[in-house]
Amino acid sequence: MRSINITLESECYDLNLTFKPSFVSSTYKQIEKNVWKKFDSPMFRGLTIRQEKRNILIKGLVSIDRERIEDFVFAETGLWHAPFEYDIHKVSKKFRWVLEEFSYLYSGVRIPVSLFEQDKIFIAVCLSKRTDYEVFVRSWMEKILEKYGNNVLDIVYASKEDLLKIGTSYQIFDLIDTLKSATIFHKSLENLPTYVKEHLHYRERIENPFRFLSTEIPPQIARMVLISKVKGIGPKTADSYLLNTSFHTDIAPVDTHLRNVIMRLQLFGENLKTPQSNLCSKYVCRKYVSRKLKIPLCPMSNSCIRVKILELGELAGWFQTLIYLFGREYCRKNKPQCDTCPLKKDCNYFSST
């Protein structure tokens, strides 16, 4: 293992706000206010990331090739990308005000990307279905990583008793079937549309299906494959996985917070629809992608929430992350905290109640 002791200078960066909503943080434990410690494994030992004002200090032991250590540090902290706040002026005026409001409330959020642990991120994303990431998924992940370390996929061989030691929720049991189908998706491509198969058929062997989906094919294709070939994966889980394991920040998982906030503030008009798995497995959302990849455009593209968010381009994933933070703090599904909400003067829902 190599010892690393790196200090990065940051601007407009908040480690806690960046890590809390990110699935990458499921491989860490917060040990102090501004300090996160990576779970030990054969790849990392005693690795901590600490923020001291503008300095981000990364220390510990890693078994990553020397030339990839810098990639790892920048990707995992989210510092690979300049502050998204700097690009708000590129967005159309109609949406700019809300980006300005959210970025004022949650300043310094970036998008961490996992370069070496896609399988762990996949597991965390699967576990997060219909449950609270920060309350439940973190604690399940801690137990999983403690038991399986780098061999997390071995959880598919776990006995019922072993799974019950992680937790009793159905997400833990559903995970096994999802993982099994994810590791063999490339062995049965027959149900995929021909235009998707054309992007995959020249791969004879896929050593690491998770890395393959994140890094070796266009994210739109990876999304279609995940949704159509992997049991239990829908549009939101596919997008969450890709946002946290690729450098494509123009991906936006449509979760409950996003739906609620957008509908209540009526940011993109009324009567918007949520992504449908049966459509997402066959079509792409945007015209230019349809032309580029030669895949038909979705018939719901005029009324789908995801398409509206994708209009924000590279800011889409960041915007969704800010809404997640806002949705947890104020705009909760049940009992939104309207009285203290800083956006209430612009909110249709608030003015109509």
Nearest approach, Cβ of 253 to ligand SF4 (angstroms)?
Answer: 10
- Cβ atoms of 233 and 183 within 8 Å: the answer is no
Of residues 24, 88, 113, 280, which one binds ligand SF4 by CB under 6 A?
A: 280
All residues at 6 or more sequence positions from 351 whose CB lies less than 8 Å from its CB, including other chains: none
Q: What number of other Cβ atoms are within 10 A of residue 76's Cβ? A: 26
Q: Which two tokens stand for residue 199?
A: 């992007």
Q: Indicate whether 83 belongs to the interface with ligand SF4 (CB under 6 A).
A: no
Choose the binding region for ligand SF4 from 57-65, 68-76, 144-152, 271-279 (rule: CB under 6 A): 271-279
Q: Indicate whether 265 belongs to the interface with ligand SF4 (CB under 6 A).
A: yes
Nearest approach, Cβ of 157 to ligand SF4 (angstroms)?
Answer: 34
Q: Indicate whether 267 belongs to the interface with ligand SF4 (CB under 6 A).
A: no
Q: Indicate whether 227 belongs to the interface with ligand SF4 (CB under 6 A).
A: no
Closest CA to 4 of 34, 47, 40: 47
Q: Indicate whether 275 belongs to the interface with ligand SF4 (CB under 6 A).
A: yes
Question: What does the per-residue mask of binding to ligand SF4 show for 293-332, with x meaning CB under 6 A?
Answer: -----x-xx--x-xx----------------------xx-
Nearest approach, Cβ of 195 to ligand SF4 (angstroms)?
Answer: 14
Of residues 195, 247, 268, 349, which one binds ligand SF4 by CB under 6 A?
A: 349
Q: How far is CA 259 from the centre of its chain?
A: 16
Q: Indicate whether 262 belongs to the interface with ligand SF4 (CB under 6 A).
A: no
Q: Which is nearer to ligand SF4, 171 or 220 (CB)?
A: 220
**Helices 93-105, 316-329: inter-axial angle, 10-degree rounding:** 50
- Cβ atoms of 224 and 298 within 8 Å: the answer is no
- Cβ atoms of 200 and 225 within 8 Å: the answer is yes
Choose the binding region for ligand SF4 from 1-9, 35-43, 67-75, 343-351 (rule: CB under 6 A): 343-351
Choose the binding region for ligand SF4 from 4-12, 159-167, 175-183, 335-343 (rule: CB under 6 A): 335-343
The residue ranges that bind ligand SF4 (CB under 6 A) are: 235, 264-265, 275-276, 279-280, 283, 285, 298, 300-301, 304, 306-307, 330-331, 336-338, 341, 343-344, 347, 349-350
